[in-house]
Amino acid sequence: MDTMIGVIGGSGIYDIDGLQDARWTAVDSPWGTPSDEILTGTLGGVRMAFLPRHGRGHVHSPTTVPYRANIDALKRIGVTDVISVSACGSFREHMAPGDFVVVDQFIDRTFAREKSFFGTGCVAHVSVAHPTCPRLGDACFTAAQDAGITIHKGGTYLAMEGPQFSTLAESKMYRDSWGCDVIGMTNMPEAKLAREAELCYASIAMVTDYDSWHPDHGAVDVSEIIRILMGNAQKGREMVRRLPALLGPDRAPCPHGCDRALDHAILTAPDKRDPALLARLDAVAGRMLNT
Ligand SMILES: CSC[C@H]1O[C@H](OP(=O)(O)O)[C@H](O)[C@@H]1O
Ligand SMILES: Nc1ncnc2[nH]cnc12
């Protein structure tokens, strides 16, 4: 199978550079309109796809990002591996603004979003015990180190609904009681949906601030976030540029089974399945439903 690296760019990242044969293409999805057109091309002989999570011009809020359409559209055009790059606040002194974190766990506190491709007429339960792909995360870690970025391996991301930042009490609870390392508003349900779509998913959190717990930093200040974000975005592009050489054009099955997540997940009996839902699942779950 050919590798196709899909990059979902968060706040501050609305394109990537260096792609050969770059073109923005509208992709139709039965799950709605994706956040924007998708920028496709090749980098070092590997096919690439880039989707700005909030759309060019930052149109979608964390709540209204069309997460299902985005993941479906990426899978539909052949993406095999998804790298999410996101701005985040930090709960750890040593994860400083400007640093990157390879996220490997999440606590999902979002509540106003569609979180599954499945439902009445085709019920499925996938495991998200290990919600990210270590193979992909390791490649990002190496790429970032090669680019001279300070990057931390492993971290728990608290996904909040937003759009407001946390209260001081919430910030302290997430840090002290819940053991979270970083906080953002978008990686859930994105990571869960990627797993349902059998896509390898790695999340790189780019620290912009210390949220509100830090005694020396006080409240989160968007103008300061934007300033840090500009530097982070350039570093994020440097990391992405190095990924094709590390992942290569030929893709073996994922050693962690991300691409087989649906093997034992679908519960609804074949004769009870809703044809309309099955039709919408053509890209996400076609491997399981067309047999
Ligand atoms: C710009 S501050 C808040 C905003 O930034 C993050 O977005 P993304 O995860 O897409 O980089 C955060 O989750 C909030 O949506
Ligand atoms: N402190 C914070 N909380 C939530 N999302 C963020 N994105 C960037 N900084 C953040």
The 3 state secondary structure assigned to 264-286 is CCECCCHHHCCHHHHHHCHHHHH
Question: Is the shortest distance between the CB of 183 and ligand 2 below 6 Å?
Answer: yes
Predicted confidence (pLDDT) per residue in 143-199, tens digit: 999 999 999 999 999 999 999 999 999 999 999 999 999 999 999 999 999 999 999
Ligand 1 geometric centre to CA of 184 (Å):
6
List of residues 6+ apart from 55 with CB closer than 8 A: 35, 36
Question: Is the shortest distance between the CB of 62 and ligand 2 below 6 Å?
Answer: no
Residue 1's pLDDT is 86
181 is catalytic: no
Instruction: Check the annotation: does 67 bind a ligand.
Output: no
Instruction: Check the annotation: does 40 bind a ligand.
Output: no
Rounded distance, CA 49 to CA 159, Å?
25
Question: Is the shortest distance between the CB of 170 and ligand 2 below 6 Å?
Answer: no
Which ligand minimizes its atom distance to the CA of 171? 2
Say whether 192 sits in a helix, a strand or coil: helix
Rounded distance, CA 206 to CA 117, Å?
28
Please provide residue 130's backbone torsions phi and psi, each rounded to the nearest 5 degrees: -120, 90
Q: Which of 10, 185, 6 is nearest to 85 (CA)?
A: 10
Q: Which of 101, 93, 134 is nearest to 256 (CA)?
A: 134
Residues 254, 201 contacting (CB under 8 angstroms): no
Q: Where are the alpha helices (DSSP H) in 173-253?
A: 187-196, 222-247
May I ask the CATH class of domain 85-290?
alpha beta
User: Low-confidence residues of the chain, pLDDT below 50?
Assistant: none
Residue 217's pLDDT is 85
Q: How far apart are the first and last CA of the chain?
A: 19
Say whether 199 sits in a helix, a strand or coil: coil
Length of the chain equals 291
Question: What is the number of the ligand 1 atom nearest to the C-alpha of 62?
Answer: 15
Predicted confidence (pLDDT) per residue in 45-55, tens digit: 999 999 999 99
Buried/exposed 27-55: b ≥16 CB within 10 Å, e otherwise: bebbbeebbbbbbbbbbbebbbbbbbbbb
Q: Which of 53, 104, 43 is nearest to 243 (CA)?
A: 43
Percentage with pLDDT > 70 across the chain:
100
User: From residue 101, how far is each of 38, 183, 219 by CA, in Å?
Assistant: 25, 11, 22
Specify the residue for token string 């570093």. 235
Buried/exposed 70-83: b ≥16 CB within 10 Å, e otherwise: bbbbbbbbebbbbb
Structure-block tokens of residue 242: 């190095």
List of residues 6+ apart from 192 with CB closer than 8 A: 108, 115, 116, 126, 128, 131
Residue 291's pLDDT is 53
Query: For ligand 2, atom 2, which residue shows the shortest CA distance?
Result: 89
Strand pairing of 38-43 and 46-52?
A: antiparallel
List of residues 6+ apart from 269 with CB closer than 8 A: none
Query: For ligand 2, atom 7, which residue shows the shortest CA distance?
Result: 88
104 is catalytic: no
